[in-house]
Chain A
Amino acid sequence: MKSLSIYIHIPFCVRKCLYCDFLSFSVRDNYVNQNAVGKMKKYVDSLCREIRSSAAAYKEYQVLSIFFGGGTPTLLPAGEIGRVMEAVCDNYQMADDAEITIEMNPETASGEKLEEYITHGINRLSIGLQSTDDDELRRIGRIHDYSTFLRAYRMAREEGFRNINIDLMAALPGQSVESYRHTLARAAALKPEHISAYSLILEEGTPLYERREEFCFPTEDEDRDMYEFTGEYLAACGYHRYEISNYARSVVPDAGPAVAGCGSAARALYNGAALYECRHNKVYWQRGNYVGFGLGASSMVENVRWTNPADMEQYRLYAERAEAPARSVQRLTLHEQMEEYMFLGLRMMCGVEEERFAEQFGRPMTEVYGEVIERLCAQGLLVREDNTPAWDDNTPVRDGRKAAKGGGRLRLSKRGIDISNYVMSQFLFDETE
């Protein structure tokens, strides 16, 4: 049976953060009013319709993970997430141990909603904290403060969430290396199972970008100091970096706590340290199949990429059609697949495996990229390891198999991470080739 991950987009926020370039609409302070509630319910109607009508195409697939992203999924009125979960569970084959994540803004947390999520099988919570410094939060337009976050975090633990991610941001306007360290220490002290720590990306078109002159941003050196510190500090706290910006609490197999949604099958599959790595996100980097539902959501199934309409009215029309609509479909060529394999795979600290490459594309990696790899290794940007596990002998098992014997793997060096765009761009083919 083939595997599938599902992404569900909820494009509503109380207020858009100043750095955000995601597809999302602000429902402002009136999100409780009838108008906004009606609008969100109508959206969920479309979403459920899309989920149901798409199901026929995925009869052969088992769903290993679901991710509610946004926007702010927890902004939806009580009962709405439940409706979506029902639409999925009624129409798709769910794996017993599926990882089901919802993103949450601390301000929108309530005991009632958290209970609803647990009831519907949601077993992972991703909370956007960003910083524990209230001034820093205000500057980037977040609606919550640190104490609100703490309340929400405790509430989530009390409601039974055993797998929680905390989102942090580095290189925020007005942030010092010192205050970042403070944020990181406070977050780690809560012992979440997972921490994502992103360097702020100033995206063109966002208010923060437009107003960038008004703010004092950390220098590039400070940004890298923060990044370096994150890895070192979290390692000391028992976390390992498994992707450029993602850290999971390492677990010794037998001593690990029971995790909701991670039954005995999951335990067998995810032995050891990789237990809390976000399975859903790893699907993106390992080029597994995923389908996105909702406004502007992206999908890739069997090397075909497409994106849903980003206009609300067009999306509604699209979702209501019973049959598969004409969509902007990109069928990836073999070269494009190879490129993606490299630049996505290299985001992960375990890197890319030569044998899997050969398996997927029928050509050895060294034949396709030999010259590039040699050059990047010589420059100290890539590290080639001969079948060495990622960080210890508890090599994670993917898709039910131990990492391949024979053949090496390539990963980014420390310096390679810092300038990974350059490294990754080297794996793109010239158009003429």
Chain B
Amino acid sequence: MRCAHKTFERKELFMAAIDQSKIRNFCIIAHIDHGKSTLADRIIEKTGLLTSREMQAQVLDNMDLERERGITIKAQTVRIIYNAKDGNEYILNLIDTPGHVDFNYEVSRSLAACDGAVLVVDAAQGIEAQTLANVYLALDHDLDVFPVINKIDLPSADPERVKNEIEDVIGIEAQDAPLISAKNGIGIEDVLEAVVEKIPAPKGSPDNPLQALIFDSLYDSYKGVIVFCRIMEGRVAKGTQIRMMATGATAEVVEVGYFGPGRFIPCDELSAGMVGYLTASIKNVKDTAVGDTVTDAANPCAQPLPGYKKVHSMVYCGIYPADGAKYPDLRDALEKLKLNDASLNYEPETSIALGFGFRCGFLGLLHLEIIQERLEREYNLDLVTTAPGVIYKVHKTDGEVIELTNPSNLPDPAQIAYMEEPVVSAEIMVTTEFIGSIMQLCQERRGRYISTEYIEASRALLKYELPLNEIIYDFFDALKSRSRGYASFDYELKGYEQSRLVKLDILINHEEVDALSFIVHADSAYERGRKMCEKLKDEIPRHLFEIPIQAAVSGRIIARETVRALRKDVLAKCYGGDITRKKKLLEKQKEGKKRMRQIGSVEIPQSAFMSVLKLDDK
């Protein structure tokens, strides 16, 4: 009740006058762990929207998953009020953005709704690979970027060095960058002053026809689709008949409002320059594509906004319900997730081993993991995931080109002229002492060396071209362990290159398991096959009979392990007091079997399909 009352007061306050020149739409960009979310929390706290007692750490990281992993996955938005030193009251719309390279697309969407960006750089670590990637993204969107230097209270902080680094490497003015500690609330006011001063007020006129960019959306079972939008031109209010310019869907607006921390606050109208949400009893999630332009059906704008370039999935894998009966649930869950994650693609597929499921496309392996965890937690699904792969281009002898996302669909080798695989341009920032081991890693992953640029005496930017399929497995982990966590990494798709690729099949008890097949470079086939067999040997329980596990390329066996026949599974003792417990044990044993996948006469636990996803280097 107290909250509602407070909200009401503030709403009245704004009704008096919404002066477009007193609005600032901005985001915070940073390399992961440089303190972006903490700064966002402090800003919200400072502007008094929440007292620190009400404040839960990292207000903007809504999902449990985000809190646990300490990362931001989804863009989050909050509207705050700031009384600046110039005596004016400003409305600041803060749009929090994800930090991980996998989520560049999310960042890009958020940036399009902003007029400027605060660049947070760690006072000790300085510029990292994603700092650069995010700055370039922001500059691409014509945003004004100003830096703040965070964590200045760390003993290892060196703000002067970092300032110079920012000026040298990025080329933006940094001498008057606020020096702050978001964690300890130092210098937050300086950041807010800088936002007011350095970020331009939105342009656009409320009197023009409505033109609003959809930058996100989510589904609410009561209100239907909630559309997050930035009003570029015009105004929208309850009762406005709107039209989505790309999908052509029309609807009558039921509610408009803005974003309180963790909740929606209705208001009467959104006008040019504002960031907020609208609902219009839209039931079909497909009607509101992120990136589409909303306009007034009665008085449409001439042109849609440029929107976003279509995002391409880079990594594919099969996702199957552990319990085949949950297939419709999985389909519904994917549809809901897709709603505010345009980068998620999926289509139905069938596996001999796993039954009915979906081939899903992701931006990267982290994205895959996040989606998988969200499906399991938020939708309570038990999943089996197959080995992730990239999209290969298969050139057939008859001239046809197939885009291969599922290894099982690879045509007969006799029909294949050649194959191509995606290659990325990678930038790795690393302290000089680890250059050797990182270069070795890239070499092992079939990397092509491009250049080394020294940012300062002790740090360098390594540039490599790497096959995407070499980095989707455990490249991040390997990078971390070989640089003791000091290397940072960013990449973008460069294009396709011809490569000697083969399909590696896994045979369990002489039967091919389609869900375990994958495409691999001919030179790594043996190594991968051997590791797969070793891993599977540990995962497959011993049966009554001996089970050979084989890896094969084009029908030729290249590696083999054997799961020995079970020799002992007996309880030596069973007396009067043991019977109930003993029966439970037998039940568990029988139940365990049910959760297995039957391949021929072999029962394979679901964990076996998952375990081969992570074939650790060492």
Q: Is the CB of B573 within 8 A of A201?
A: yes
Partner of B571, one of A201, A283, A300, A379: A201
B433 within 8 A of A: no
Nearest B residue to A23 via CB reads: B577
B586 within 8 A of A: yes
List, in ascending order, chain B residues with CB within 8 A of A223's CB.
568
B55 within 8 A of A: no
Residues 572-593 of chain B, each 1 if its beta carbon lies under 8 Å from chain A, else 0: 1111110110110111011001
B370 within 8 A of A: no
Nearest B residue to A305 via CB reads: B580
List, in ascending order, chain A residues with CB within 8 A of B263's CB.
none
List, in ascending order, chain B residues with CB within 8 A of A201's CB.
571-573
Q: Is the CB of A244 within 8 A of B570?
A: yes
User: With A220-B567, A428-B586, A428-B587 in contact, do A330 and B580 touch (Cβ < 8 Å)?
Assistant: yes
A223 to B566, CA, bound (A): 13
List, in ascending order, chain A residues with CB within 8 A of B580's CB.
298, 305, 307, 330
Q: Is the CB of B567 within 8 A of A421?
A: no
A417 within 8 A of B: yes
A395 within 8 A of B: no
Nearest A residue to B589 via CB reads: A425
How far is the CB of A69 from the nearest CB of chain B, in Å?
8
B417 within 8 A of A: no
A419 within 8 A of B: yes
Q: Is the CB of B585 within 8 A of A421?
A: yes
A10 to B401, CA, bound (A): 79
Q: Is the CB of A245 within 8 A of B572?
A: yes
Q: Identify which of A72-80, A139-147, A258-266, A340-348 touches chain B.
A: A340-348
How far is the CB of A95 from the nearest CB of chain B, in Å?
19
Partner of A244, one of B567, B572, B576, B587: B572
List, in ascending order, chain B residues with CB within 8 A of A292's CB.
576-577
A286 to B575, CA, bound (A): 11
A386 to B508, CA, bound (A): 39
How far is the CB of B135 from the nearest CB of chain A, in Å?
51
Partner of A224, one of B567, B574, B575, B589: B567
User: With A343-B586, A422-B544, A425-B586 in contact, do A284 and B574 touch (Cβ < 8 Å)?
Assistant: yes
Q: Is the CB of B569 within 8 A of A290?
A: no
Residues 398-433 of chain A, each 1 if its beta carbon lies under 8 Å from chain B, else 0: 000000000000000000011111101110100000
Residues 364-379 of chain A, each 1 if its beta carbon lies under 8 Å from chain B, else 0: 0000000000000001
Q: Is the CB of B577 within 8 A of A420?
A: no
User: With A284-B579, A296-B577, A298-B580 in contact, do A420 and B569 touch (Cβ < 8 Å)?
Assistant: yes
A7 within 8 A of B: yes
A221 to B568, CA, bound (A): 8
How far is the CB of A245 from the nearest CB of chain B, in Å?
5
How far is the CB of A330 from the nearest CB of chain B, in Å?
7
Q: Is the CB of A418 within 8 A of B569?
A: yes
Residues 273-313 of chain A, each 1 if its beta carbon lies under 8 Å from chain B, else 0: 00000000101110000101000111110000101000000
Q: Is the CB of A344 within 8 A of B574?
A: yes
A339 within 8 A of B: yes
Q: Is the CB of A290 within 8 A of B576?
A: yes
How far is the CB of A292 from the nearest CB of chain B, in Å?
6
A224 to B568, CA, bound (A): 7
Residues 46-86 of chain A, each 1 if its beta carbon lies under 8 Å from chain B, else 0: 00000000000000000000000000000000000000000
- The interface size bin for chain A is 35 or more
How far is the CB of A227 from the nearest CB of chain B, in Å?
8
Q: Is the CB of B575 within 8 A of A281?
A: yes
Q: Is the CB of A419 within 8 A of B576?
A: no
Q: B interface, by DSSP: helix, strand, loop or mixed?
A: loop
Q: Is the CB of A418 within 8 A of B568?
A: yes
How far is the CB of B566 from the nearest CB of chain A, in Å?
6
A200 to B567, CA, bound (A): 16
Q: Is the CB of A422 within 8 A of B569?
A: yes
A88 to B243, CA, bound (A): 89
A122 to B561, CA, bound (A): 57
Q: Is the CB of B567 within 8 A of A425?
A: no
User: With A244-B572, A296-B577, A298-B577 in contact, do A419 and B583 touch (Cβ < 8 Å)?
Assistant: no
How far is the CB of A352 from the nearest CB of chain B, in Å?
15
Partner of A419, one of B566, B574, B587: B566
Partner of A421, one of B569, B573, B575: B569
Q: Is the CB of B574 within 8 A of A347?
A: yes
Q: Is the CB of A419 within 8 A of B544?
A: yes
How far is the CB of B105 from the nearest CB of chain A, in Å?
46
List, in ascending order, chain B residues with CB within 8 A of A305's CB.
579-580
Nearest A residue to B543 via CB reads: A422
Q: Is the CB of B570 within 8 A of A419?
A: yes
A50 to B142, CA, bound (A): 87
User: With A424-B586, A425-B589, A428-B590 in contact, do A220 and B568 touch (Cβ < 8 Å)?
Assistant: yes
A245 to B575, CA, bound (A): 11
A394 within 8 A of B: no
A387 within 8 A of B: no
Residues 540-555 of chain B, each 1 if its beta carbon lies under 8 Å from chain A, else 0: 0000100000000000
A199 within 8 A of B: yes
List, in ascending order, chain B residues with CB within 8 A of A343's CB.
582-583, 586
A198 within 8 A of B: yes
How far is the CB of A210 from the nearest CB of chain B, in Å?
20
List, in ascending order, chain B residues with CB within 8 A of A418's CB.
567-570
How far is the CB of A295 from the nearest CB of chain B, in Å?
11
A18 to B544, CA, bound (A): 32
List, in ascending order, chain A residues with CB within 8 A of B574's CB.
244, 284-285, 344, 347
List, in ascending order, chain A residues with CB within 8 A of B568's CB.
199, 220, 223-224, 418-419
List, in ascending order, chain B residues with CB within 8 A of A422's CB.
544, 566, 569, 589
A299 to B579, CA, bound (A): 10
Q: Is the CB of B577 within 8 A of A421?
A: no
How far is the CB of B574 from the nearest CB of chain A, in Å?
6
A420 to B593, CA, bound (A): 16
A134 to B586, CA, bound (A): 35
List, in ascending order, chain A residues with CB within 8 A of B573's CB.
198, 201, 245
Partner of A420, one of B567, B570, B579, B587: B570
User: With A379-B544, A422-B544, A425-B586 in contact, do A284 and B576 touch (Cβ < 8 Å)?
Assistant: yes
A428 to B585, CA, bound (A): 11
How far is the CB of B15 from the nearest CB of chain A, in Å?
62
Q: Is the CB of A298 within 8 A of B579?
A: yes
Partner of A340, one of B544, B569, B572, B583: B583
How far is the CB of B289 from the nearest CB of chain A, in Å?
44
How far is the CB of A14 from the nearest CB of chain B, in Å?
21
Partner of B572, one of A199, A297, A424: A199
B572, B575, B582 — which one has the most chain A CB atoms within 10 A of its CB? B572
A36 to B182, CA, bound (A): 62
How far is the CB of A101 from the nearest CB of chain B, in Å?
12
A201 to B574, CA, bound (A): 11
How far is the CB of B594 from the nearest CB of chain A, in Å?
8
Residues 218-243 of chain A, each 1 if its beta carbon lies under 8 Å from chain B, else 0: 00110110000000000000000000
Q: List 22 A-B residue pairs with CB atoms under 8 Å apart, sorted by A's residue number.
A: A7-B576, A199-B568, A201-B572, A244-B574, A245-B573, A284-B575, A292-B576, A292-B577, A298-B576, A298-B577, A298-B579, A343-B582, A343-B583, A419-B544, A420-B569, A420-B570, A421-B585, A422-B566, A422-B569, A424-B586, A426-B590, A428-B587
Q: A: which residues have CB within 8 A of B?
A: 7, 198-201, 220-221, 223-224, 244-245, 281, 283-285, 290, 292, 296-300, 305, 307, 330, 339-340, 343-344, 347, 379, 381, 417-422, 424-426, 428
7 additional A-B residue pairs with CB within 8 Å, beyond A307-B577, A421-B586: A201-B571, A244-B571, A298-B579, A299-B576, A340-B579, A379-B544, A420-B571
Those 3 A-B pairs whose CB atoms lie nearest each other, nearest first: A198-B572, A298-B577, A425-B586
